[in-house]
Amino acid sequence: MIAGSASTLRLRGMADGVRLPRIVSGWVDTARLPVSSIPVRIEILRNGVVIGSGPVDRDRPDISADPARPAGFQLTCSDELDDSDLALARIAVIARGVDGATGELPLYGRVRAEALDRLLARLGRPIGETEAHLRSALAAGDPLDATMAGELEAIAASAGAIAPDRSMREVMMAFESLGQDCALGSAQRHFGAEPLGLLRFSGIGLDAVRTALADRLRGVGDPAFTRMEPDDRGEFFTRDIRYHMQAHTFLFAANEERAPLFARQCRKLQYLARNLLDVLHEGSKIMVIHGLPDDLPDAGLRALLAVLRGYGDCPLLYVRAARPGLEAGEVVRGEGLFIGHVLVEDDARRPSSHEIFESWGRMCRRVHTLVHGALPVGVP
């Protein structure tokens, strides 16, 4: 509702993104708000205690195309959140306009449903009829009756009694992306691993990455070879004009001055390039390449492997889509490399993002065992 006094105006929006353990993001419908309500601030509360606050100051062109009315927010909480907080909606996200207008922003149903998936996975509990009905209700944002609410409380309490497998984070930290897209980086984030990596959130093809590595990443981050432009959502991307490497910055034009940001991003790329060269020389990480959902050509893989052997003896994992006889998570040895298999989005089974990430986790566990022997204590 737009008309009316500040006391009757309700702010609309949603908390549609959570990155555990601390980051909450979302939007407020500022496009139709009166100017008297802007700027809008967000408070995040758990059990009535404020654990995060900040402005609605990020670009969300899907909500508001007016740069004077930013609609997005991303806040870092002072306390860590967990899957029980999300599944049970223990956090409240409140939007407040300067004129006294307020609104509680619901937690996106898919965020709650995926939190339930992780709680069930921690329990080793399959998704039966009861769990599927509960998950469907959460995803749709439907109110839970007393029976379903009690079931959800019981699942959260049981899972909370089991310590999370923090050693999976250590497993995922042992892998380094050689590009194609963000699939490995997203799987690492799912398990709480946030390694630095030049190509972790980058797009680059097999031939281009082979050429770049053969050139010892010469000139990566040099302003003469680097371009930075916003995409349709307003996020800045960097691009190397020689190797056609495009990388996320996760920073938006509405919030950043271009010139100083470009200088910082160039320095960052130079640092990450030096770091990748060190990793290759030391053989300290397992390098990962894929062409998902497609396979990569054998000749291209052999050429890449030859370039890597010029640095040292770093292991290489080639990731393919699961197929009959080679299920998701399975790993076989190829000629000088490991071949692993994961679920992909266009699989006929239509797996959830949680199932896809878990298949990456199973594959990486097995490769880690083959390379380093016994897994860290606590990994099944």
pLDDT digits (tens, 9 = 90+) for 27-53: 998 877 777 667 889 999 987 889 999
For residue 260, the model assigns a pLDDT of 92
pLDDT band at 161 (very low <50, low <70, confident <90, very high): low
* CATH T-level fold of 13-107: Immunoglobulin-like (2.60.40)
The CB density around residue 349, as the number of other CB atoms within 10 Å, is 9
Does this model's pTM top 0.85? My answer is no
Q: What is the pLDDT of residues 274-313, one digit of tens each?
A: 999 999 999 989 999 999 999 999 999 999 999 999 999 8
pLDDT of 376 strictly over 60: no
Range 99-113 average pLDDT: 89
Determine the straight-line distance between the first and last CA of the chain, rounded to whole angstroms. 53
pLDDT band at 377 (very low <50, low <70, confident <90, very high): very low
pLDDT band at 1 (very low <50, low <70, confident <90, very high): very low
The residues spanned by each domain of the chain are 13-107, 112-160, 167-372
Residues counted in the chain: 380
Paired tokens of 201: 């959130």
Paired tokens of 180: 């194609």
Greatest CA separation found in the chain? 71
Instruction: Residue 121: name the closest of 356, 367, 376 by CA.
Output: 356
Q: What is the pLDDT of residues 307-349, one digit of tens each?
A: 999 999 899 999 999 999 999 999 999 888 999 999 998 777 7
Q: Rounded CA gap, 178 and 276, in Å? A: 10
Alpha-carbon dihedral angle through residues 163, 169, 171, 173, given to the nearest 10 degrees: -170
Cα 62 → chain centroid: 20
- In the chain the beta strands, taken as DSSP E runs, fall at 13-19, 23-28, 40-46, 49-55, 72-76, 91-97, 102-105, 175-177, 202-203, 226-230, 235-240, 245-252, 286-290, 316-321, 331-333, 338-342
| Residue 205 vs residues 58, 199, 227, 300: alpha-carbon distances, Å | 31, 11, 18, 10
